Amino acid sequence: MKYIKVTGWGNNKTHIVPLKAINSFSEEDKYTTIRLDNGTVINVQESFNVIEELLNLAGATVFEELDILDKVGGDDAWDVVPYSADDNLPF
């Protein structure tokens, strides 16, 4: 199992968080919030970018909507059905 090591905001305690338990994380004014699957919320000193880098180093990949556009191309990322030359659906 892979973990990230973060520092609690306010109490400076070290937290070892398993990757598979992370549900979401968000950037607040002075800290970053990590939400776990069990409902626990951990406020940490590390910035949003540092958390993303830790996840990247641990082997996790963080995707954004722009990544979909880069992979698929065009403005409509969900329009990936290949059309024939006369614009008829392939079925």
At 7, the pLDDT band (50, 70, 90 cuts) reads very high
At 59, the pLDDT band (50, 70, 90 cuts) reads confident
Higher model confidence: residue 76 or residue 27?
27
Three-state secondary structure readout of 49-66: HHHHHHHHHCCCCCCCHH
Mean pLDDT of 81-86: 59
Q: Is the pLDDT of residue 52 over 70?
A: yes
Higher model confidence: residue 17 or residue 63?
17
Scan for tokens 């776990």, then name that residue.
36
Radius of gyration of the chain (CA): 19
User: Are the C-beta atoms of residues 62 and 22 closer than 8 Å to each other?
Assistant: no
At 43, the pLDDT band (50, 70, 90 cuts) reads very high
Higher model confidence: residue 59 or residue 6?
6
Tell me what pLDDT residue 90 has. Answer: 57
Q: Which amino acid is at 72?
A: V
